[in-house]
Amino acid sequence: MEPLWTEIDHVAIAVRDLDAAAAWYERAFGARVVHREVVERDGVAEALLAVADSYVQLLTPTRDDSPVARFLATRGEGLHHVGYRVADCAAALAAVRAQGGRVIDEAPRPGSRGTTVAFVHPSAAFGTLIELVEDPAA
Ligand code: CO
């Protein structure tokens, strides 16, 4: 079959201080923040650093009960999830489920920057939290 993914959309890193982390990437890699957004539903603020056609997504919680806040409390800063860019989020989600993948989102939902996303649980994905990302602008 044709691959369902087309690109690594982003690598997401949970941090305590978004501005400090973004500034470090700017200094260390000459990286550029191309997008910032607060996603209230998920309780996160993000800064996207462009890497060719992909991104490093720095994430920090906006409230104490958000999943990223719990992640920081239990695991500390570090790699949080990998976003795979797909042409059709619903089709990719169905394909993952057909392979026994446990999903967090039962149906695709709005993500940041106008994307449509769905998360796959790490317990059925060899330990990695996966985000399926359909980006109409890509
Ligand atoms: Co993400």
The structural domains of the chain, with segments of one domain joined by +, span 5-134
d(CA 41, CA 138): 24
Task: Name the pTM for this structure.
Answer: 0.94
Strands (E), the chain: 5-14, 33-39, 44-51, 54-61, 78-86, 109-110, 116-120, 130-134
Specify whether domain 5-134 bears CATH 3.10.180.10. yes
Query: pLDDT tens digits, residue range 76-116?
Result: 999 999 999 999 999 999 999 999 889 999 999 999 999 99
Compute, in angstroms, the gap from residue 16 CA to the centroid of ligand 1. Answer: 16
Compute, in angstroms, the gap from residue 119 CA to the centroid of ligand 1. Answer: 9
Compute, in angstroms, the gap from residue 48 CA to the centroid of ligand 1. Answer: 10
Query: pLDDT tens digits, residue range 58-70?
Result: 999 999 999 999 9
In the numeric block, the tokens 């690594």 are attached to 8
* DSSP string over 57-81: EEEEESSTTSHHHHHHHHH-SEEEE
Q: Which residues surround ligand 1, an ion (CB under 5 A)?
A: 12, 83, 131
Compute, in angstroms, the gap from residue 101 CA to the centroid of ligand 1. Answer: 18
d(CA 9, CA 70): 24
